[in-house]
Structure 1
């Protein structure tokens, strides 16, 4: 296996490769198409809903409530202390969102809720330009959650609020001269609270999407059988790992480009202003492991393929630990050889995790060796 990382990362990367090698050898023998353990599917889906999805949205609702309260307090009594509390509340929402954003389906796709909560990637800096225009013009129509809801998705979510709290000129929030900026930020925080409440309400409806997840069948509008339900659940993991690889890591660091070390592009990293880039990525991996384990996805596998689940869980733990070792702003991390080596390790093993979920787990539950979530087949 050829690594693009500096030599300092080689022992760490190889230790993980060798640790997984015995399981990988067994898994290769189990790659011929099998069938999902259909008897386990309803309970696995129910645990995914009751043990991961609904609690995740409850946590998000609580975090956004706290953020809204902290934003209101900042506007009422601007000071360094209230600004610090608001920023801390923002980081808590980033963590709560990063722990549930992997559920990008159902209510998240309705009414543009996902994009309204987080507009990313933003390759043309649309959000920055539109937020700056609102601040420059002091557009009062952006200072209520209701009116904000009808504006561009780029100015009403986490990216917009990060610009308000951490962007150029944010220091005026702690003084009495930041009134408009604070009112706009408050409207964004209230909008986030409202969207989080909608997520939770939709998933808590007994006869809504949770019922469709828990009871696959011919009359089910989402899953006609157990295999379709299992495929959807595995797809959540596959697409989310792919998202971390392609939308969270690759934009700011690719390891090597045309054989040369990548200097990195720190300002393309998500949440770089608030130094939440790596904490958010760690939360993404932690959420994926929690969903995998809480739902008991190992039970979907044939008995002789259960080692696949063990190797996937091992990779999750290694990736979470590596992400947690990353410290400080992205630009400082890219200037540090040890942290660059850790990024290389994360990129290498994220790709390995994607392969194990997409090809090995998928084949073992009967999706077939040619099936690819990534290609939409």
Structure 2
């Protein structure tokens, strides 16, 4: 009996210690999450949208001068467009804050577009010489398919006469390209502005409130950052890896990849991988894991390195994808590492950090 009482007391003491320990963790967690939220927003999120606003602004300037006849500006447009695409790759998976508004990501880039809606609708605007599309404010009210980077890519890289032409169609196409670029730049500036100020998203996420409609605790914004990692990895899987695997399984079939027309697919996926890795490192999810799980962040770091090597190579040389004997192996390795990183972050590192991911932005699409 005495032995039982002793065991009961010991068990009670252990339970009490566990409760006290959990209380300590609960009190420490909000401060840690608050620092994490501020670090991610100030070091990654806002600089990313600031870069998008700057590159798209430079694109507007050089496109406008191109339409005025500047040969020098016309040469700069291709680089400006590439810079804007790569800046977009760094933030497109951040589907929280201002980007949680329905339709905004699609206005930046209407993709995936398996039926070629963008090309058809842009061609229709050109055929009609639709004057309303030349006003960025009115263009923003039209279909998302005629806004953003994929629509601009159609005008810059299709088989029609160049924007520098003097015929009526070329003049309209150039003005439409400027309008699309202006609309994209305005949207980037709008989102950047919405991060700032006392009522901005930064304040709401760093200092959540019980009265806030979206963020009531510091854990919720941190959970959105972790969810963004999963979303970004899923985008790589669904938009680059899966289409390429389908091509290899169907000889003669040409893949449809993001920014394929402009030859930016490999650089785009490379920028996406680097950006997801940067967000992961900024969050610090691999720090402070138990010793028995220390292999996980090491594996993730190595997997990101392999993705940086294999993912761009797997989509390079389109449309002769099926002729590359190494491509199937590269794609299998890309899929393996993407899935591995997703599972370790979603099932292990995020829960260890006290974060619940749940559904991500692309679930149900």
TM-score with structure 2 setting the length: 0.83
Match of 1:181 among 158, 173, 178: 173
Residues 346-377 of structure 1, C-alpha deviation per residue, up to 9 Å, x if partnerless?
A: 12211222111222223423568x9665868x
Unpaired runs of at least 5, structure 2:
1-21
- Asked if 2 retains the 8 angstrom alpha-carbon contact of 1:249 and 1:269, the reply is no
Distance 2:355 2:180 in 1: 42
Residue 352 of structure 2: aligned partner: 364
Distance (Å, rounded) in 2 between the aligned partners of 1:114 and 1:153: 9
The aligned residue for residue 248 of structure 1 is 240
Q: Which one has more relative contact order, counting CA pairs under 8 Å at least 6 apart?
A: 1
Q: Which residue of 26, 46, 61 maps to 1:54?
A: 46
Greater shift in the superposed pair: 264-273 or 217-226: 217-226
Give yes or no for the alignment of 1:272 onto 2:260.
yes
Shift of 1:300: 7.4
- Count of residues in correspondence between the two structures: 336
- Please name the residue that 2:11 is paired with: none
Determine whether 1:71 maps to 2:63.
yes
Contact residue 41 and residue 300 of structure 1 kept, 8 A: no
Q: How far apart are the structure 1 equivalents of 2:108 and 2:358? A: 32
The answer (yes or no) to whether the contact 1:255–1:344 under 8 Å persists in 2 is: no
Partners of 2:253 and 2:187 in 1: CA distance? 31
1:156 aligned to which of 147, 152, 163? 147
Which residue is equivalent to 1:122? 113
1:297 aligns with 2:285: yes
Which residue among 91, 94, 98 is the counterpart of 1:100?
91
Q: Where does the alignment leave 5 or more consecutive residues of structure 1 unmatched?
A: 1-33
Larger gyration radius, structure 1 or structure 2: 2
8 Å CA contact 1:48–1:295 kept in 2: the answer is yes
For residue 6 of structure 2, what is the aligned residue in structure 1? none
Inter-CA distance 328–249: structure 2 relative to 1 (3 Å threshold): closer
CA distance in 1 between counterparts of 2:275 and 2:212 reads 27
State how far apart, in whole Å, the 2-side matches of 1:141 and 1:267 are. 34
Task: Say yes or no: does 1:140 pair with 2:128.
Answer: no
Maintained 8 Å contact 2:205/2:218: no
1:285 aligns with 2:273: yes
- The one of 156, 159, 162 equivalent to 1:172 is 162
Matched, 1:211 2:186: no
Report the Cα distance in structure 1 between the residues aligned to 2:253 and 2:343, rounded to whole angstroms. Answer: 26
Secondary structure of the residue aligned to 2:296 is: helix
Displacement of 1:45 after TM fit? 1.1
Per the normalisation by structure 1, the TM-score is: 0.80
Relative to 1, partners in 2 of residues 1:204 and 1:314: Cα closer, same or farther, differing over 3 Å?
A: farther
Paired with 1:40 and 1:305, the residues of 2 have a C-alpha distance of: 21
8 Å contact kept, 1:269–1:277: yes
Name 1:239's counterpart in structure 2. Answer: 231
